[in-house]
Structure 1
């Protein structure tokens, strides 16, 4: 699902050959220190390539990024950076590109389509990576659902969280998880928030990651005690997401989380329904 945490990227003509990246906001230092290896720059080159632009990103380009998505918190900052870079690169090429083409590129850069699909299309998305492309469907966001996010101060890295997972899982857990995935899709399609608690009871990831993320399990329990419809780790953590079906419950979860004594900040957000947007720059006088 796409949340209302935004990343903005602007492409301008540079003064010198090459790609110059400047970043502001969350994760700015990491983005600028990565330079030509940053996800935005790598994705920009890929977008430029598929759209028939100069090979290797040749030219004089200046990319300015402003992000409100904290990095290494399980919030999809890398997916947003990839989608932004691809859109900018494709816009500077000569050939038209489709959203499905960009999604396939984004999934390869990210390693999976889950977060890039939501960043590109908005709303709730279901994406499956095929050998040659990505099958994706976008679903309408139930109007009454309100996301509340606890943004942890601590960082966790995807590689470490993946290393915590076992190489094999018990067959009952796998079959149970498949049923819960179907239940989650049903909850979204029918706007039935009463299904979320069972649907979001993950058996493949959370049992192995929660012991490594102090306070996360308690935050999930607090959300349920107050009346949240569903709660889980956001991505690989350490941030936590709750979905509430009333403004009063959402306010109560936000207040309780902020008063729980954990390092971080709780905030009510919206589900983003627009997805990535490309706007032409205003002409300068």
Structure 2
């Protein structure tokens, strides 16, 4: 029996479209064990009716086992805790993929390296920005080079927290990608290249005062904001309350404010503001998860 815990992730962080991601201390937890016959999926305390072929934990699990020729008869998959909300830009699909691959690797005796796990997860997900930090923890920049994923961790100042604002409405990845242009001009590309480079360096050097200008973006946020009701008012209020920066988490609908730990009034004041606008918003003050996926036997 294997108990697997995978962190939520936030991707892009402004200008780092499909390249930057960070693990957060919100988790999905699943228990997986082999059994003699058939597949049993149990959702603890949750009323979920998800076809087996759409369960990314199961499909990722068997994809890896089949690829490496491991013979199995059946599985019992127990969803113990699903704290990562679906279709909110917090890496719910990445967490399921990583959980399935991690379970397969544990069942096979740990034969896969971290890089092999990352490459398989990216193959399934389609891009590395969420799956890599879910595996490694931390804030990570990732890219594909000649069919392999190359990644590098970024230092995050210890006094930064992340106000994660989650609405009741969803935004699908397909919808969020559909509103984006098919091509961009040179000025837009330069805008983003300069900011993502500065963002990485500002985090590494602890230059917090530079983060706000570095989270600006011209690739996806101007288009995706049309799918997120109240975003302009929330970002304006966040800045008024002293946040370091704001950005759309992944494809949305979640929004994130970067907040210094000494800004103790931010959570209370922002919660009161969110209660007064439409969208069913909730706020959670999270920190970076430095460890990534965890497996207990």
User: Greater helix percent: which structure?
Assistant: 1
Query: Which of 239, 245, 258 is matched with 2:274 structurally?
Result: 258
**d(CA) in 1 for partners of 2:245, 2:212:** 5
- Aligned equivalent of 1:274: 291
What is the total number of aligned residue pairs between the two structures? 273
The answer for the alignment partner of 2:12 in structure 1 is none
Q: Cα distance, 1:50 vs. partner?
A: 5.0
Partner of 2:4: none
Q: CA RMSD in A?
A: 1.9
Q: For residues 73 and 181 of structure 1, what CA distance do their matches in structure 2 show? A: 23
Paired residue for 1:216, among 231, 240, 247?
A: 231
State the secondary structure of the residue aligned to 1:83: helix
Unaligned runs of 5+ in 1: 281-285
Give the TM-score, by structure 1 length.
Answer: 0.90
Counterpart position of 1:283:
none
- Asked if 1:9 is matched to 2:24, the reply is no
CA contact (8 A) 2:192 2:217 kept: yes
Output the CA distance in 2 between the equivalents of 1:37 and 1:193.
41
Contact 2:165 2:256 in 1 (8 A): yes
User: 1:1-285 to 2 correspondence within 5 Å?
Assistant: 1-14=22-35, 16-17=37-38, 19-24=39-44, 29=48, 32-49=49-66, 52-54=69-71, 58-65=72-79, 66-94=81-109, 96-247=111-262, 248=264, 250-252=266-268, 254-262=270-278, 263-280=280-297
Deviation, 1:102, is 0.4
Runs of 4+ with >6 A deviation:
none
Please give the TM-score of this superposition, normalised by the length of structure 2. 0.86
**Does the residue aligned with 1:129 lie in a helix, a strand or coil?**
strand
The answer for unaligned runs of 5 or more in structure 2 is 1-21
Closer, same or farther in 2 for the Cα pair 1:252/1:184, shift >3 Å? farther
Shift of 1:10: 0.9
- What is the distance in 2 between the residues matched to 1:103 and 1:133? 9
Q: Quick one: distance in 2 between partners of 1:117 and 1:87? A: 13
Q: Is the 8 A contact 1:52 1:93 kept in 2?
A: no
Give the whole-Å Cα distance in 1 for the aligned partners of 2:91 and 2:112. Answer: 24
Q: 1:95 to 1:193 in 2, by over 3 A?
A: closer
* Alignment check: 8 A CA contact 2:235 2:246 kept: yes
Deviations 1:115-157 (A, max 9, x none): 0011111110110022321001122331000100101100110
- Structure 1 position 51, deviation (Å): 5.0
Shift of 1:94: 4.9
Q: Which protein, 1 or 2, shows the higher relative CO under an 8 Å CA cutoff with sep ≥ 6?
A: 2
